[in-house]
Structure 1
Amino acid sequence: MASRQRPGKHARAVMSDCRWQPLSLAARAVWLALTDLGDVKPTIRAPVRQGATIEEIARCIAADVDAVRVAAAELVQCDVLEPVGSGFRLKAY
């Protein structure tokens, strides 16, 4: 039987990253949610041709699309997310 993933297991590593402090609360929340989501959805973190769209990310983490769009732009700017095709993937995982 496969062991269950513990939500938030990446939090300590992400929160100790030097890029964490200057981020807005929305960007922090999206980054943490994406690290957990990356455990079950490889397109979020693996080198792929097509990343997850803003709408897909918002649906998966149950967030407002506009809030995710703003947070994603901030995360791209600080080199946490990278554009892939018409979507995004975590660059820092």
Structure 2
Amino acid sequence: MADRRWPLLPLSARAAWLQLTDLGDVMPELRQPRMGGAVTADELCRLLSAHSDELAGALRHLVERQIMEPVANGYRLKVY
């Protein structure tokens, strides 16, 4: 990845970012959440087949680097 944030992320966050960009292609609500309905962390765990504690750490890093952002009750992918 050419993004300057890439080397700063742990491997779990890198993997999640790659998978989330692929999901964003088929799930427009991940990029532009519908009114009052963002994709929740539980949904992301299910879609990525990840454990909630592992994904929580990756999401924290992605939010810190402004790749994901909290929206209402879930998350939005800002960078793809």
Q: TM-score, normalization: structure 1?
A: 0.79
Alpha-carbon distance change, 53 to 47 in structure 1, aligned in 2, over 3 angstroms: closer
Q: Matched residue of 2:7: which SS?
A: coil
User: Normalized per residue, which structure has more helix?
Assistant: 2
Moved over 6 A (4+): none
Residue by residue over 1:21-48, the C-alpha shift from the partner in whole angstroms, topping out at 9 and shown as x without a partner, is 0100000011000000011111111254
Answer yes or no: is the 8 Å Cα contact 1:48–1:84 preserved in 2.
no
Unaligned runs of 5+ in 1: 1-14
Q: Matched residue of 1:89: which SS?
A: strand
Aligned residues: 79
Partner of 1:31: 17
Matched AA of 2:59: A
Q: Matched residue of 2:8: which SS?
A: coil
Partner of 1:5: none
Higher relative contact order (CA 8 A, sep 6+): 2
In structure 1, C-alpha distance between the alignment counterparts of 2:34 and 2:60, rounded to whole Å: 20
Answer yes or no: is the 8 Å Cα contact 1:51–1:89 preserved in 2.
yes
